[in-house]
Structure 1
Amino acid sequence: MLSVDRVVRAAIELVDREGGAGPSMRRTAAELGVGVMSLYRYVSGKEDLGRLMIDAVFGDHPLPEPGPPGWRAKLELSARKEWQIYREHPWVPQLFALTTRPPIAPRLMAYTDWRIRAVDDLGLDFPTMVRIAILVSTHTQSAAYPLAREQFANNTREEWIGARSGEAQETFASGTLPMIARFGTDAFEASQPHSIFEFGLHCILDGVANIVRPQLPLTTHAYPPGP
C-alpha cells in the first residue's frame, strides 16, 4: 500500500542507486510498480517530492541534544554530520542547486536552528548568528557538490586526469598558467572534495573565533585562549 513515506523512500533509493540531480515522478512510480498519477495522491509534484526527500535524509541524521560543550565543537559536529549525509546521498547538494528557494523542510531547518543555538550565548547579534549557521551549511554543500559526479563516473579522478595528461602538458607549455602547471600529487590531493571541506571548515571556525574572542589591549598583541 502506498504512503507518503513509501513514495519518498522509493525515490531516495532510486536516486542513490542510479544517480541524477533530482527526483523523477515517472521513475519513482516505475520503482513502486504503480502508475505515475497514483503518486499525486501523496505528493503534489517533483518539487514537493524533492523537499520531502531532503527532509527525510536530514531526519535520518539528527543532531544530538545538547551536543558537545563549546560552540566550536558544536559547529564542527554539525558540519561533519551534514557532510556524512552528502557522502551517503551525493545528489542532495545537486538538488539544492536546482531549487530557487530553500525547501521548507523541518528536519533540514533543525540543523540551522541547532547551529544558531550553538552560538547564542556569545554576545553576537541575531543576523550574525544566522550568517554563521548558513555559512557552515553552504560551505559543506559546496564542497560536496562534486561527489555526485565521482559516484557515477566511468573512471576514477586519477584515471581521468591521466588520460588527459598530454592535453594538460600542452596547455601548461604555453606558460599562461604558471601556478596550475605546478600541480603535483600534493596539490591534487588538496583539490579533492574532502580536503576542501576540511580546510574550509577550519577557516570558518577560526573566523568565528576571531569574531567572538575579545581583543586585548594592543600592547599585548595577543588573544586569550579560545573556548
Structure 2
Amino acid sequence: MRAGIDLIDREGGAGPSMRRTAAELGVGVMSLYRYVSGKEELGRLMIDVVFGEHPLPEPGPPGWRAKLELSARNEWQIYREHPWVPQLFALTTRPPIAPQLMSYTDWRIRAVDNLGLEFPTMVRIAIMVSTHTQSSAYPLAVEQFAHDTREEWLGARSGRIQEAFTSGALPMIARFGADAIEASQPHSIFEFGLRCLLDGVEKIISSRDAG
C-alpha cells in the first residue's frame, strides 16, 4: 500500500491506478486484484493509511474550539502531504469506509459532546469541518503538479486579464491586486473559512446556553 501512495504522491493524478500501482509493486494487475477488488477499494485503503499516519491526540487540548481547530489543521497537513486525497474524495459517490478517516469524525463529535447540542447537530459540525478542509485543499494538487507558478500563470495571461479588468463588466474583479490574489490562495481560504465556521459553532452553543 505504501508503494502505491508513494507513486501517486510522486506522479500525481486524481486517484490510484490499478495498473500503475501493480507496476510499482513489480506484479501483474491480476495479482493485485487478489488483494483488492478494484480502484475504489485501493483508494479506500490508501486513505486509511494516510489518515492513520496522522492520529489525533487523546484527549487533545482543552476546549471544543481548540480541539476542532487542531483536527482541521491535522487534516490540512494530510492534504498538504498528499494533495491527491481531496481529489479522490471528489470522485467518490459515497464516503470511503476507512476506520482511520472515520476516527476523525468520531473525535470531532466527542469534542462537542456534553455541550447540550443535539446529536445530529454535532454530526453536522464534525462533517462541516472536514468538508471545508477538503474543499480548501482541492487546488493543492493542481499547484503541486503545475508546470508554472501561479505568478507565472497570471503573467502569461496578463493581456486577457487586463482586458477583463477594463471592460467595466467586472468592477469588483477589477479591484484585484496582490492582496486579493494572496487572499484567494488555498491556505488563506482554509484559515478564513475555519475561523468563520468555528465562530458560527460558538454562536450556536451560546444561543443554546442563553436559551
TM over 0.5: same fold? yes
Q: CA offset at residue 134 of structure 1?
A: 0.2
- In the alignment, the residues of structure 2 paired with residue 30 and residue 39 of structure 1 have an alpha-carbon distance, to the nearest angstrom, of 10
Counterpart secondary structure, 1:213: helix
- TM-score norm. by structure 2 comes to 0.98
Residue 222 of structure 1 corresponds to none
- In the alignment, the residues of structure 1 paired with residue 14 and residue 166 of structure 2 have an alpha-carbon distance, to the nearest angstrom, of 37
| Percent of residue pairs bearing the same amino acid type | 83
Of 141-150 and 36-45, the range deviating more from structure 2: 36-45
AA partner of residue 105 (structure 2): T
- In the alignment, the residues of structure 2 paired with residue 214 and residue 175 of structure 1 have an alpha-carbon distance, to the nearest angstrom, of 44
Aligned pairs, number: 210
Comparing both structures, which one devotes a greater share of its residues to helix?
2
- In the alignment, the residues of structure 1 paired with residue 180 and residue 83 of structure 2 have an alpha-carbon distance, to the nearest angstrom, of 24
Match of 2:116 among 112, 123, 128: 123
Match of 1:44 among 37, 40, 60: 37
Residue 4 of structure 1 corresponds to none
Runs of 5+ consecutive residues of structure 2 not aligned to the other structure: none
Q: Does 1:212 align with 2:202?
A: no
- TM-score norm. by structure 1 comes to 0.91
1:15-64 Cα shifts (integer Å, max 9, x gaps): 00000000001001111111111101111111000000001100000000
- In the alignment, the residues of structure 1 paired with residue 155 and residue 201 of structure 2 have an alpha-carbon distance, to the nearest angstrom, of 40
Larger Rg: 1
1:124-158 Cα shifts (integer Å, max 9, x gaps): 00000000000000000000000000000000011
Of 197-206 and 162-171, the range deviating more from structure 2: 162-171
AA partner of residue 8 (structure 2): V
- List structure 1 segments (4+ residues) > 4 angstroms apart after TM superposition: 214-217
- In the alignment, the residues of structure 2 paired with residue 71 and residue 103 of structure 1 have an alpha-carbon distance, to the nearest angstrom, of 26
Counterpart secondary structure, 1:166: helix
Residue 28 of structure 1 corresponds to 21
- In the alignment, the residues of structure 2 paired with residue 141 and residue 83 of structure 1 have an alpha-carbon distance, to the nearest angstrom, of 8
AA partner of residue 145 (structure 1): Y
